[in-house]
Structure 1
């Protein structure tokens, strides 16, 4: 018996759905091994770029943009937020300790839950608005969720994964995702280079993987701060 759902999916859609599965795996990993979670997020970023390549080569479907946004919520919204929340709870304990009195750790634990929740909300809003109004354009308004998640993943893999550092990063990126800053989309050649660097950070062991992670962090930060003004265009 054929499935009317599966029959409507294209090859690019299957890559997108794989990205969503990676997002779930990254979310689970975030509670036990944030390095593994970071690698899974980067693998999802590679899948996110690959589905566009496949769609251009073999054709897409009407469901493609919606599936893409749903997958991005899992991999680039929820997974990084859980990394922040899990790290915060591990260091500062549960915000429920506020019931027994105010303390710095309890307040930080509360922030470690509330800020990631706002991060997810901003990611959902950004992705929904992008799908409705900007899909198909060569620019995007606000920091792309893929870029935000790549920054989290690269930060973790370079060793800067302290609870305070990750919480500050989430606090900065949350409003930037829903800001009015206009980012040009990456050209195919640059997206390919980014994918190679991401793959190196995922796969290579020891100092080699660390070098790729630092390179990824520098490239991502350069695009974050300089992309809207200096990224080359035709």
Structure 2
């Protein structure tokens, strides 16, 4: 039986695959020791992740779309984000191989983020319906908070690693998070593009505004924000 790739993939799926390509670019940037570039790509991946949902709702999705979305999220907001965390530690602390304890801390925090991202994605793919508010923060949100914090100049490595672990556990917290309204998603996307294209402009205003907005949604969204 033919896979009929062209017939079975839609526009939204192409954007999803672009997200995966961005994730691979972010992983390459982390390996090359370019954490700022990686942070920008993670935010760009988050924009692509939002766009594929908008296109799927506007023009119709495909049966394979949700599976592609989950797998692309693991690439960009699981593996690439874990490598980003390690790259930040490596960039700030220097050669980690000279200190086994620092190396273990960086690898441990990065691995925890990847594992919890995998667990959350697998569990909600199997057990949570598309129209339900999904428990735990999105791995996209966790990655965006870390990227925005780095671009904001908030680079205390122990705090950064502790925040990575805390965000990892928040992914599986039994707290339902509503989806953003379309209007709010557009505003957030605009700020994200500012953080991507002009991360240091005006005293790093774009990544800092993005960080505040993302944290506000994380802490206040389940109680005070409703998408309907």
User: Please, what TM-score do these two structures have when normalized by structure 1?
Assistant: 0.89
Q: Do 1:93 and 1:106's aligned partners in 2 also have CA atoms closer than 8 Å?
A: no
Q: Take 1:205 and 1:63, find their aligned partners in 2: how far apart are those partners?
A: 35
1:153 to 1:209, Cα distance in 2 relative to 1, 3 A = farther
Once the 2 structures are TM-superposed, how far is the Cα of residue 86 of structure 1 from its aligned partner? Answer: 2.3
CA RMSD of aligned residues (A): 1.9
Q: Take 1:210 and 1:10, find their aligned partners in 2: how far apart are those partners?
A: 37
Once the 2 structures are TM-superposed, how far is the Cα of residue 88 of structure 1 from its aligned partner? Answer: 2.6
Residue in 1 aligned with 2:8?
8
Q: Take 2:211 and 2:88, find their aligned partners in 1: how far apart are those partners?
A: 20
Q: Do 1:77 and 1:145's aligned partners in 2 also have CA atoms closer than 8 Å?
A: yes
- Counterpart of 2:131 in 1: which secondary structure? coil
Residue in 2 aligned with 1:101?
none
1:208 to 1:134, Cα distance in 2 relative to 1, 3 A = farther
User: Please, what TM-score do these two structures have when normalized by structure 2?
Assistant: 0.92
Residue in 2 aligned with 1:102?
none
Residue in 2 aligned with 1:136?
130
Q: Take 1:113 and 1:93, find their aligned partners in 2: how far apart are those partners?
A: 13
**Gaps spanning 5+ residues in structure 1: where?**
98-104
1:205 to 1:118, Cα distance in 2 relative to 1, 3 A = closer
- Counterpart of 1:30 in 2: which secondary structure? helix
After TM superposition, what 4+ stretches of structure 1 lie above 3 angstroms from structure 2? 92-95
Q: Do 1:76 and 1:145's aligned partners in 2 also have CA atoms closer than 8 Å?
A: yes
**Gaps spanning 5+ residues in structure 2: where?**
none
Residue in 1 aligned with 2:84?
83
Count residues with an aligned counterpart: 225
Once the 2 structures are TM-superposed, how far is the Cα of residue 137 of structure 1 from its aligned partner? Answer: 1.9
Residue in 2 aligned with 1:119?
113
